[in-house]
């Protein structure tokens, strides 16, 4: 098997890297791109297996990302997806290294953060492109002997042929150019003394690049004061390590704390609605929907998905593959509620049993759509509450294009933003601005306590005149009643 050597590196006039391509990485990052995006790494960043990479002096966060590198074998300009793989000569292993301490410096181009000398090791062996199925490769990364990345190319957001075809629409991919195809979840941070290993193989293990090895050493030359200097914050630490927990950082406070969630669960939407009305919010209910589990009280944070009316040419580009609908379902987190804008369109489904099951497995608190539901019996039988306009057997594409996620939408006659607090019960569905939620919950609890007293007085035969709502006399009696309950 041919080995990557100095001639391989010298032939690479361009090194192009893809930002996000594996669903596992997209879920970790909390964002799934609709189209591929790229950045350039200088060819001087290339290095061979067995070399040492320097963590620059003053830098804390040298990130590693095991990747599959594809090497162009024949110039490609405006090629079609079906022809693109024929322009690839080989695949090999790579490690897309970079210092998060300098990400701020170049506004997304990654030039300094990812372009350092030796920051793109490749090798050790080349696997001929015509000997493999590009959708049947495996990528693994070891950090000091521990397997930290292990994924396959079976369900990439953007298959390799699409990357080649896409890039070739604007620029010529030349023989020897290298494309780094994205990293799966598990990328993290290395420190001086660490050993990094990356291997690409066929899924059955019959063909392999062998392990690309890179050691990390500490840089000794400080950055000059006439350019950007390294700096790290907790956001970069979280990004570099993959999570706040992995970075040793305290968990961020959610807009919906367990205490606030318990308060909202303890009161009915009718009470919450009256408190929102007192604050001038009259248009915060999602109307006209039916629940598969009307017995359930649901409280959660909104994630949003927008459908636009079907237009055949646009459905071709946005309807297939890992589209916005699937991205939304596959990234919804535990306790979140997926809210869909379907324009009240009743002539097709917007969710079916498989995707609803996926949302349930991921821990979603509910699904809300102002459109139809397919596979209704199966969806209705799930534990996951679904709020819907009507059952309908037709597939999504009859009326809709899944267009975008995590944006401001309209659903059931009101506006919903990502991060809004949704509360639903048998009375209806409310959207509560997070900034108001604590006060609304506290005042709702107090209101319902008053209503318990009022109900007792009515039960004893008192007229509602002056009692509901409480006048000054009755409020004094309520406060005495409340004090007596507190002393019981």
Q: For 69-128, what is each residue's pLDDT tens digit? A: 999 999 999 999 999 999 999 999 999 999 999 998 887 789 999 999 999 999 999 999
Query: pLDDT band at 252, cuts 50/70/90?
Result: low
Q: Does domain 6-241 have CATH number 3.30.930.10?
A: no
Query: pLDDT band at 175, cuts 50/70/90?
Result: very high
- The label of the residue with tokens 């690049």 reads 209
Let me know: does 244 contact 251? Beta carbons within 8 Å: yes
Q: For 144-160, what is each residue's pLDDT tens digit? A: 999 999 999 999 999 99
Q: For 457-477, what is each residue's pLDDT tens digit? A: 999 999 999 988 899 999 999
> Is 193 annotated for ligand binding?
no
Q: For 190-227, what is each residue's pLDDT tens digit? A: 999 999 999 999 999 999 999 999 999 999 999 998 99
* Better-scored residue on pLDDT, 317 or 280: 280
Task: Return the pLDDT at 156.
Answer: 94
> Is 205 annotated for ligand binding?
no
According to DSSP, the β-strands at 178-180 and 66-72 are antiparallel
Query: pLDDT band at 286, cuts 50/70/90?
Result: very high
pTM of the model: 0.62
Instruction: Find, among 315, 321, 387, 399, the residue nearest to 161 by Cα.
Output: 321
When pLDDT is averaged across residues 228-244 and rounded to a whole number, the result is 89
CATH classification code of 283-432: 3.50.30.40
Task: Return the pLDDT at 253.
Answer: 64
Q: For 380-402, what is each residue's pLDDT tens digit? A: 999 999 999 999 999 999 999 99
Let me know: does 419 contact 434? Beta carbons within 8 Å: yes
Q: How far separated are the first and last CA of the chain, in Å rounded? A: 84
Q: For 419-462, what is each residue's pLDDT tens digit? A: 999 999 999 999 999 999 999 999 999 999 999 999 999 999 99
> Is 244 annotated for ligand binding?
no
DSSP 57-90: TT---EEE-EEEEEEE-S-BSS--HHHHGGGEEE
> Is 29 annotated for ligand binding?
no
Instruction: Please state which of the ranges 191-200, 237-246, 282-291 shows the lowest mean pLDDT.
Output: 237-246
> Is 281 annotated for ligand binding?
no
Residue ranges per structural domain of the chain: 6-241, 283-432, 442-487
Per the prediction, the chain carries an average pLDDT of: 94
> Is 357 annotated for ligand binding?
no
Give the 3-state secondary structure of residue 281.
Answer: coil
């Amino acid at each position: 098997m041919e080995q990557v050597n100095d001639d391989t590196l010298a032939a690479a006039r361009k090194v192009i890297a893809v930002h996000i391509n594996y669903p596992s990485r997209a879920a970790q990052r909390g964002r799934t791109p609709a189209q591929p995006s790229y950045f350039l790494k200088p060819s001087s960043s290339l290095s061979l297996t067995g070399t040492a990479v320097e963590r620059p002096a003053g830098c804390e966060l040298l990130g590693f990302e095991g990747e599959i590198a594809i090497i162009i074998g024949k110039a490609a300009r405006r090629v079609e997806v079906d022809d693109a793989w024929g322009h690839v000569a080989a695949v090999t292993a790579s490690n897309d290294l970079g210092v998060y301490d300098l990400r701020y410096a170049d506004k997304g181009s990654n030039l300094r953060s990812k372009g350092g000398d030796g920051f793109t090791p490749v090798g050790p062996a080349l696997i001929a492109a015509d000997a493999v199925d590009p959708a049947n490769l495996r990528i693994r990364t070891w950090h000091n002997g521990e397997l930290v990345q292990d994924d396959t190319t079976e369900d990439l957001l953007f298959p390799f042929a699409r990357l080649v075809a896409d890039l070739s629409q604007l620029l010529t991919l030349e023989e020897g150019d290298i494309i780094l195809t994205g990293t799966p979840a598990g990328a993290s941070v290395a420190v001086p003394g660490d050993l990094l290993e990356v291997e690409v193989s066929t899924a059955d293990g019959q063909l392999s690049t062998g392990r690309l090895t890179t050691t990390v050493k500490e840089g000794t030359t400080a950055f000059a004061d006439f350019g950007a200097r390294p700096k790290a914050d907790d956001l970069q630490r979280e990004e570099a390590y993959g999570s706040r927990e992995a970075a040793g950082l305290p968990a961020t406070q959610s807009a919906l704390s367990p205490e606030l969630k318990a308060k909202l669960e303890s009161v009915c939407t009718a009470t919450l609605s009256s408190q929102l009305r007192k604050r001038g919010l009259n248009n915060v209910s999602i109307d006209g929907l039916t629940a598969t589990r009307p017995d359930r009280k649901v409280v959660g944070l909104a994630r949003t998905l927008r459908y636009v009316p079907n237009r055949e040419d646009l459905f071709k580009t946005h309807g297939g593959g890992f589209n916005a609908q699937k991205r939304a379902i596959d990234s919804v987190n535990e306790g979140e509620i997926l809210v869909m804008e379907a324009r009240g369109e009743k002539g097709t489904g917007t969710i079916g049993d498989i995707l609803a099951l996926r949302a349930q497995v991921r821990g979603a608190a509910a699904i809300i759509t102002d459109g139809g539901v397919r596979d209704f019996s199966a969806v209705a039988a799930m534990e996951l509450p679904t709020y819907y306009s009507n059952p309908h057997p037709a597939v999504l594409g009859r009326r809709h294009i899944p267009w975008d996620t995590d944006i401001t939408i309209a659903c059931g006659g009101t506006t919903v933003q990502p991060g809004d607090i949704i509360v639903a019960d048998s009375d209806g569905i409310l959207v509560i601005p997070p900034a108001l939620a604590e006060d609304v919950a506290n005042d709702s609890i107090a209101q319902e306590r008053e209503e318990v007293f009022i109900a007792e007085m009515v039960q004893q035969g008192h007229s509602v005149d002056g009692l509901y709502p409480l006048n000054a006399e009755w409020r004094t009696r309520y406060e005495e009643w409340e004090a007596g309950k507190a002393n019981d």
